[in-house]
Amino acid sequence: MLALARGEDVSAAWMVAAALGSYAIGYRFYSRFILRRVLRADHSRATPAERLEDGLDYQPTDRRVLLGHHFAGISGAGPLVGPVLAAQMGYLPGTIWIIVGVIFAGAVQDMVVLFFSTRRDGKSLGQIAREEIGPVGGVAGVVAIFSIMIILLAVLALVVVQALAESPWGTFSVGMTIPLALFMGVYLRYLRPGRVSEVTIVGVSLLLFVIVAGRWVANSGMADTFTLSPRTLVVWLVIYGFAASVLPVWLLLVPRDYLSTFMKIGTIGLLALALVFTLPTLQMEAVTDFASNGEGPVFAGSLFPFVFITIACGALSGFHALISSGTTPKMIQKETQVRSIGYGAMLMESSVAVMAITAACVLDPGVYFAMNAPPAVIGDTVQAASETITSWGFVVTPEQLNAAAESVEEGSLLSRTGGAPTLALGLASIFSDILGGEAMMSFWYHFAIMFEALFILTAIDAGTRVGRFILQDALASTHPRMSRFRSTGWLPGILLTSAAVVGLWGWLLWVGVNDPLGGINTLYPIFGISNQLLGALALGLCTVLLIKSGRLKYAWVTAVPMAWVAVVTLTASWQKVFSGDPAVGFLARRDQYQEGIDSGQLLPGASDMGEMRTIVNNATLDAFLAGTLALLVVVVFIDAFRVALKAISSPETVRLHEAPYVRSRLVAPAELIATREEKAELVRAGLGPGGGFPEERAEEAPGDADAHGNGNGAGARDADAEGDGR
């Protein structure tokens, strides 16, 4: 505030300090309050991973490994790309929303959804809505959730394809994480069970080796083998997504996500340290004129509501609710772990978003806009781009633009839209200041591109599996004869639903790769809105569940962020459909291009009249889908409001669909670092730091659990003493 008031330069290091300090306070106090007072998590209650263990989907998993899986599963394109794009509004609005939004909205959603799904046998968000709200709101919720899920997966896959296409370094390094994950899964399952530290050291060492080896491969005769076209990458992504959906979670999905987490956190941690050591100045303005006039070249629309839609995963993401009600609740050992895994993982992702917007804002603003504005706005030459951007008040010369491209061995950086190249350049400029200088700019730039692909791919595998869960639950609810689809042991159902999910997003991706105006490219404009609509829906459902559980006085914890996100997202939906500005409104854009067709005028963005007609059709479809998704969410809200009023006025008539209470026999700490009491409990049970079942589990009678601190003994007493009991 002092720097802004005095007109001084602001160091990027303050962004790191503000974020980390806020996260520490939010986690220490607010998440603790939610766990103990609002949710009343019960350490002695058996989770579905313990009760329904099948070695396929339900598997009690070491909390440290599960945190890695959950973080990798929720970390998609949002925290990397969204903040970079939102930087056109200035560094201040986006950074504030990322930090405040995650503490009071995003992390709350992830934690609360994870808790309620764990209480319901790990059921999907759509199935929970159907059971707890009713058939009308439930069906609307299932349709909206599954539709949004397919769109999100296809968009994430498209970003991966764009990052890895014609990149042997990235393809080799990312591809090698699959056999590494298989090795780690077998190592933990059969060779050295429970030896998480050992497998971590081996896995991370091999990961670093394949990353370095990727550059060797790219400069060797093997480069052609790993230089894949976008079409070939689509096929491999579909195959990988299908395999990750049907194979046991312990074999591929969890170890690969856990492994990639070290890569993600390591890179972001290194970036944070680099910012502290180099102390670069934020060159972007605190708040640009584009925030108020809505005429930004990166994306059109004013600060409200579009900065909150553009920055998705870093502050709040509906996609996270699907992971929190998908794979993670089927593997969590204890209810009390929802704090470290749900709330904690979201704070980790928010830190990624803060680093992303900071990396974009330390770049010269002229270079930033040259990379993110489309050719229709700035032209296709450095001279034209320089003149246009300078007219906006951000002075940049053709020599600067050429020098930036040469420093990373690229022919041109003009109109490298999508956010990923901008983030890569920002990372490269910061890293090169402390590791290698200008000579290493190219290395760090291409390393960052590969890093982004690895970062996003983990959301595709977990998301595909969650999509399978959603479809299984939906089919099982249609008719009693279809109930078998819900069984995790029925292989035909698993194969059919997995094939359907990868087939849907794979088809959208295939068409989009072959047609720049088709497939997922058609739906990309509604990506942000659909994601945030899903977040509002998830928070609304959590509010109803809190009220039905008799916790009306705490319902504000989810109701307040739900109201904010609903207002923001529905406002954005309305503007995207009905705004009279063709750069914002779908219908206005349709009318603009239709008038061009009628008058025989070719407009920017189209090379012929065929593409003009395609743009008209796409705009019409986007308007219809944006309006339909918003309407479905409103239907869910109305039905949820009805159920909430009934629960308040006649609580005796309310029925919760929780799984029956079963006393847990599993011993495991609640946090990543065990307390003194938890360590003593593990010792008494003869277990290592990862926890598990006492060695004499098979011989004990149910009443003997107290002797090991798993029932009403030490474990339960500790929980009740801190407000965590039933």
Question: pLDDT tens-digit profile of 634-647?
Answer: 999 999 999 999 99
**Mean pLDDT, range 359-365, rounded to an integer:** 93
Is residue 371 pLDDT above 80, yes or no?
yes
Beta carbons of 213 and 222 less than 8 angstroms apart: no
Give the model confidence (pLDDT) of 171-184 as tens digits.
888 888 889 888 98
> What burial class does residue 577 get, using C-beta atoms within 10 Å of its C-beta: 0-12 exposed, 13-18 middle, 19+ buried?
buried
Q: Of the spans 153-162, 308-317, 354-363, which averages the highest pLDDT?
A: 354-363
C-alpha to C-alpha distances, 356 to 12, 22, 447, 483, 633, nearest whole angstrom: 11, 17, 15, 45, 30
C-alpha to C-alpha distances, 269 to 245, 272, 274, 275, 360, nearest whole angstrom: 30, 5, 9, 10, 17
Is residue 495 pLDDT above 90, yes or no?
yes
pLDDT band at 349 (very low <50, low <70, confident <90, very high): very high
Written as one letter, the residue type at 430 is: I
Give the model confidence (pLDDT) of 541-591 as tens digits.
999 999 999 999 999 999 999 999 999 999 999 999 999 999 899 999 999
pLDDT at 703: 39
- Nearest CA among 13, 71, 467, 500 for reference residue 275: 13
Beta carbons of 396 and 362 less than 8 angstroms apart: no
Q: pTM here?
A: 0.87
**Mean pLDDT, range 17-21, rounded to an integer:** 94
> What burial class does residue 383 get, using C-beta atoms within 10 Å of its C-beta: 0-12 exposed, 13-18 middle, 19+ buried?
exposed
pLDDT at 698: 39
Inter-axis angle of helices 556-578 and 586-599, nearest 10: 10
Q: Of the spans 164-168, 299-303, 691-695, which averages the highest pLDDT?
A: 299-303
Give the model confidence (pLDDT) of 447-463 as tens digits.
887 777 777 787 888 88
| Least confident window among 196-200, 471-475, 708-712 | 708-712
Q: Which two tokens stand for residue 356?
A: 């992303």
* Domain assignments of the chain as residue spans, ordered by start: 1-51+68-114+124-166+228-470+527-653, 667-694
Distance CA 448, CA 453 (A): 9
Distance CA 179, CA 313 (A): 29
**Mean pLDDT, range 489-494, rounded to an integer:** 86
Is residue 1 pLDDT above 80, yes or no?
no
pLDDT at 713: 36
| Least confident window among 308-317, 653-662, 696-705 | 696-705
pLDDT band at 134 (very low <50, low <70, confident <90, very high): confident
pLDDT at 159: 80
Distance CA 538, CA 92 (A): 28
Distance CA 172, CA 163 (A): 13
Q: Which two tokens stand for residue 643?
A: 């159920």
Q: Of the spans 59-63, 287-291, 553-557, 685-689, which averages the highest pLDDT?
A: 553-557
pLDDT at 66: 93
Is residue 3 pLDDT above 80, yes or no?
no
pLDDT at 263: 79
**Mean pLDDT, range 157-167, rounded to an integer:** 82
Three-state SS at 57: coil
Inter-axis angle of helices 78-86 and 420-434, nearest 10: 90
In sequence order, what DSSP letters do the residues of 542-604 get, joined into one string?
Answer: HHHHHHHTT-GGGTHHHHHHHHHHHHHHHHHHHHHHH-S-TTT-HHHHHHHHHHHHHHTPPPT
Fold classification of 1-51+68-114+124-166+228-470+527-653 is Amino acid/polyamine transporter I (1.20.1740)
Three-state SS at 449: helix
**Mean pLDDT, range 484-504, rounded to an integer:** 88
Distance CA 371, CA 361 (A): 13
Three-state SS at 455: helix
**Mean pLDDT, range 3-17, rounded to an integer:** 86
Q: Of the spans 154-163, 190-199, 485-494, 667-676, which averages the highest pLDDT?
A: 667-676
Distance CA 253, CA 544 (A): 32
pLDDT at 463: 87
Three-state SS at 667: strand
**Mean pLDDT, range 238-242, rounded to an integer:** 93
**Mean pLDDT, range 205-233, rounded to an integer:** 87
Written as one letter, the residue type at 652 is: E
Q: Which two tokens stand for residue 91?
A: 């560094």
User: Which one has a higher pLDDT value, 542 or 442?
Assistant: 542
pLDDT at 585: 93
Per-chain mean pLDDT for the chain: 87
pLDDT at 726: 32
pLDDT at 210: 85
Distance CA 428, CA 435 (A): 10
Q: Hey, which residues does 11 pair with through a beta bridge?
A: 281
